[in-house]
Amino acid sequence: MNPERLPVASELFAQWQRARGGLMKPAVRPFSRGWEDLLEDARLVAATERAEAESDIRVLAAEGWVALKFVRYRPHLIERVVIPLEAEARWQEAFGFVAPTGEEARRIREYPWVPELEFVREADLNLPFEELARLNEFLASGGRQRPVVPIKERSLQIFGEEKRLDSLLASALFRSGRLDLRADLRCEIIGVPLAWRRGPVAAAAQPVLVIENAATWHSYCRWNETGGHFSAVVYGDGNRFMDGIGFLAEIFREVGGIRPVRYFGDLDPHGLRIPQVASARAQAMGLPAVEADSWSYGELLRLGEGRGQPAETDPVASALCGWLGEWADPVRELFAQGQRLAQEHVGWERLSAIPPLDSADRQENSPGR
């Protein structure tokens, strides 16, 4: 298997690069990363993405690329991923990585950098001179005055490769106080547009509901056609909701104005982290906060009672639960038991059994409230 084609492996290698710095000194300890942290850093949060990542990392382990450490007393749960010292050269070859030479370092020290890149003389960037020089050329030729464009367009202009800037975002180039994507390179990350379905005309004033996973989104859309609980039902697509949060503004224009935003996802730490990160980003853009859809989470706890799946929780999981309001304590208990609940428990069979609301009942009794 070629790890370069796997999102989880690409993120692991990028973090290995940053940890190793300039590679001027031989490593004495293998690099490792917590599994849940690695998934989050790689933006692999949706259930299908996590399952694919776990399958990929287990194959890499079987082929000797990595070693896996498992949660104590729960051997089915991955705790950490390790790149063995003896496998580092193999990883470098797979990703076409060549450590900077002494000549490269000299050129970086002596080159006449623009003010924004002066820091590269002393920084341990582990990046080739040629790429740094291309960034310098862009800034020196008036790049600061260019209009803001999508990151992949700017990457193609600078490097001749549309994805290179995406991969460099995790490098030391963009640490605090160094390069700024928007201010210096005049570009921005464009999230994947959010798929959504408009609710009935009678529900135009109702909240917008965002659903984490595709199957549940489909069932809620069917239900909303007759139930009229939401002005729109949006497919959050796991972690992509955080990147595409600005797309809510377009949905608001289509439904006739700003609406409250509700969210329903899996009951696990990542499922709670997604809407809370998205909420902070939304508010920074002047959009409404993302709130928990209390009715849906209550149904999930009721229907999922005694049917939880084993899951690894992290130390901050309990703090994430406060966002759930009245359901915070039951979910803390769920996490304390090492369990999670998939939102698919609230499926079409349950939703189709709920009588549609008439117009008089909709405002007070909608599950979206």
For the chain, list the domains and their CATH numbers: 1-99 (1.10.10), 100-190 (no CATH), 195-365 (3.40.1360)
Place of tokens 């290995």: 16
C-alpha to C-alpha distance for 215 and 344, rounded to whole angstroms = 7
- What 3-state class would DSSP assign to 44? coil
Which of 323, 254, 245 minimizes the C-alpha distance to 286?
A: 245
Distances from the Cα of 105 to the Cαs of 92, 121, 128, in angstroms? 19, 8, 9
- Residue pair 210/241 in contact (Cβ under 8 Å)? The answer is yes
Contacts 24+ apart (CB under 8 A), 61-67: 63/1, 65/1, 65/3, 65/9, 65/90, 65/91, 66/12, 67/30
- The string of pLDDT tens digits covering residues 4-38 is 778 888 889 888 877 776 544 567 789 999 998 88
Place of tokens 């009942």: 361
- Residue pair 152/171 in contact (Cβ under 8 Å)? The answer is no
Phi, psi dihedrals of residue 77, rounded to the nearest 5°: -105, 125
Two tokens, residue 313: 């929780």
Two tokens, residue 64: 């000797």
Helices (H), the chain: 7-20, 35-41, 47-62, 88-94, 102-110, 129-140, 151-159, 164-168, 214-227, 240-243, 248-255, 269-284, 294-303, 317-320, 328-336, 348-351, 359-365
pTM across the whole model:
0.67
Which of 242, 228, 223 minimizes the C-alpha distance to 299?
A: 223
Phi, psi dihedrals of residue 244, rounded to the nearest 5°: -100, 15
Residues of the chain under the 70 pLDDT cut: 21-26, 45-47, 73, 98-101, 124, 126, 170, 312-316, 356-369
Instruction: Look at residue 221 in the predicted model and tell me its pLDDT.
Output: 97
C-alpha to C-alpha distance for 344 and 7, rounded to whole angstroms = 25
Instruction: Look at residue 5 in the predicted model and tell me its pLDDT.
Output: 77
C-alpha to C-alpha distance for 194 and 247, rounded to whole angstroms = 7
Instruction: Look at residue 323 in the predicted model and tell me its pLDDT.
Output: 97
- Residue pair 45/270 in contact (Cβ under 8 Å)? The answer is yes
Instruction: Look at residue 170 in the predicted model and tell me its pLDDT.
Output: 67
The dihedral sign for the CA sequence 198, 205, 320, 308? negative
Instruction: Look at residue 360 in the predicted model and tell me its pLDDT.
Output: 41
Degrees, nearest 5: CA angle 140-145-146: 100
- Residue pair 263/275 in contact (Cβ under 8 Å)? The answer is yes
C-alpha to C-alpha distance for 328 and 320, rounded to whole angstroms = 9
Which of 177, 130, 167, 171 minimizes the C-alpha distance to 22?
A: 171
